[in-house]
Chains A and B, each alone.
Chain A
Amino acid sequence: MAESIKILTGNFDVPGIEQLDVYRKNGGYAGLEKALKQMSPDEIVEEVKKSGVRGRGGAGFPMGMKWGFLAKPEGVPRYLVCNGDESEPGTFKDHYLMMKSPHLLIEGMIISSFALGANTSFIYVRGELMYVINILEKAIAEAKAAGLLGKNILGTGYDLELVVQPGGGAYICGEETALLESLEGKRGNPRNKPPFPAVKGLYQCPTVVNNVESISTTPWIVLNGGEEYAKVGIGRSTGTKLISASGHVKNPGVYEIELGLPVEEFIYSDQYLGGIRDGHGLKAVVAGGSSVPILPKDLILKTAAGEPRLMSYESLSDGGFASGTMLGSGGFIAMDETTCIVRNTWNFSRFYRHESCGQCSPCREGTGWMEKVLYRIEHGKGNERDIDLLVDVAKKIEGNTICPLGDAAAWPVASAIRHFRDEFEWHVKNPEAATKKGAVYQPELSLA
């Protein structure tokens, strides 16, 4: 099989790529040179629009369009904020990217800041990754010493200060308005929208918030052109995507894939995950981070219509939530038949309960209720009405909150019941068997 194109990670295995001189020797900062010396900010925005690259944090909103919304009132500073808060369970691709190749992100930040007309930009990184923050700060100091940051970058008259900001341990700060609140030194409570950050963001000034991976595509796009980028991938899922794979696979880790790769090939090919660990079979997959609907093996490999499922925004969501899911952040969690779906769903619901900021009642109360009900089902104290109660609570959270955390909490529960209802029923009907250590529902035994 041919090596697939690497837009982001092509030189990640070069020893010392985190250092400026090695990064430059391997083509680094060529995109920046071109952007600053040969292109106008509007031309860069145009190339990003043409590339069709979509937000890689999870929402998948076209980045060029987001840039196009930025308000540009006279005399008001504009900001670019990079979202490196990566906290969605199953997702560790930005962690990997920043740790491996800090200069790729920094180069992307300078290009993007120039395109947007920002002179102070921020990289907000989750506080737990303090060692990655240190890597970034070291790289920023190197770039500054080499005239790539600070005043009069590369002699072009463009000035940029780049600040790395640590978070404090809060999933909610991955939501862009919560992130801005946090960056202002406040609790991470999402803001009501509108106004959107493009009009009133950081310090009430026009702001663009983009994910680490999204920003890191800009050096390649500038060098090769947006049209070239759009040739990679499939349909409206242009380019490549970093997928962070975890769970019961032979080769967990971070992979750069061309969008459109068949899910089956991704899971079973030795070039990627190498299949499920020895002696076991695939049971279910959460394809895009813990928030997206879980799918059983049959539906992750093929759509309900029997088409091969592809790693793309469109194919993964084919069938809607009845039989599909989402690409999300690319946090790909594979589970084999030893996995108890009820326990995993309870675990995820505990996460969302813990991470709800508490601002909106449906989410604050609903996540708590779902966790409590799932806890009692998992621990042999549930009853049959609990299953419908969960579906009901999930429905009442969804769409009724300021930010998407409520939806993110509701979807895993609703989808687990949609696709694995038997397993929930087995728990409430057979509490003794279901609470034995390591007990997992086996369909063929349930008839006995």
Chain B
Amino acid sequence: MTETIALTPERLEKAKEIIARYPEGKQKSALLPILHLAQEQHGWVSPETMDFVADLLSIQPVEVYEVATFYTMFHLEPVGKHVIEYCRTGPCCTMGGEEVYAHLKDKLGIEAGETTQDGLFTVKEVECLAACGWGPCFQIREKYYMHLTNDKVDEIIEELSK
């Protein structure tokens, strides 16, 4: 276990607090929250991180692999500083999402699943984000960006490029 994959002392403290929430012997329930915590620190979830989490929860590494690969929120490869996850599902597309997302990808010069060369942006396609009436929308980390238009996308990208 190298230092680069360990959690910071604050996050390790938080992880222990999370583990203590569940009944005795059910520490595996902490897996998803702790994977989120690890991803918050590293930007993605590497195999080494998964092994670290397995060790922390006293479970087999494969129990972490099968979970991390099942849930789409976990990035299994390095990503850019800002991960833009746009909703490609019906209601957002009904409201013009396809055009807005095409504009986004044109502007960044990448396709969904790719990262800009400067490492600043990754674009991912995701399914419904539960913001249908406020679409088209995307999410960058925890923040929702709603009622998107091409102009709004330009503003957001310019702001985040500073």
Residues of A within 8 A of B (CB): 77, 86-92, 94-95, 120, 126-131, 134, 161, 163, 165-171, 182-188, 203, 244-248, 252-254, 286, 290, 331, 333, 335, 339, 344, 347-348, 350-351, 354-355, 357
Contact = CB atoms under 8 A, between A and B. Distances in A.
Interface of B: 21-23, 26, 28-33, 35-36, 57, 59, 63, 66-67, 70-74, 88-91, 93-95, 126-135, 139, 141-144
Contacts of A129: 130
29 contacts: A89-B91, A89-B127, A90-B90, A90-B128, A126-B130, A127-B71, A128-B139, A129-B130, A130-B36, A130-B142, A163-B21, A168-B32, A168-B72, A168-B73, A169-B71, A169-B73, A170-B70, A170-B71, A246-B91, A246-B132, A246-B135, A252-B134, A290-B89, A331-B132, A333-B94, A335-B94, A339-B94, A344-B90, A347-B93
Contacts of A347: 88-90, 93
A246 B134 CA distance: 8
A282 to B, nearest CB: 13
Contact of B74 (A91, A168, A245, A246): A168
B71 to A, nearest CB: 3
Secondary structure at the A interface, as helix, strand, loop or mixed, is: mixed
Given A185-B32, A246-B95, A203 B132 contact: no
Nearest to A126: B130
Closest A-B pairs by Cβ, 6 of them:
A168-B71, A169-B73, A252-B133, A185-B31, A185-B28, A246-B132
Contacts of B129: 128
B144 A131 contact: yes
Nearest to A79: B23
B81 to A, nearest CB: 18
A87 B128 contact: yes
A287 to B, nearest CB: 13
B70 A92 contact: no
A100 B38 CA distance: 29
Nearest to B29: A185
Contacts of A167: 32, 71, 73
B73 A92 contact: no
Contacts of B30: 185
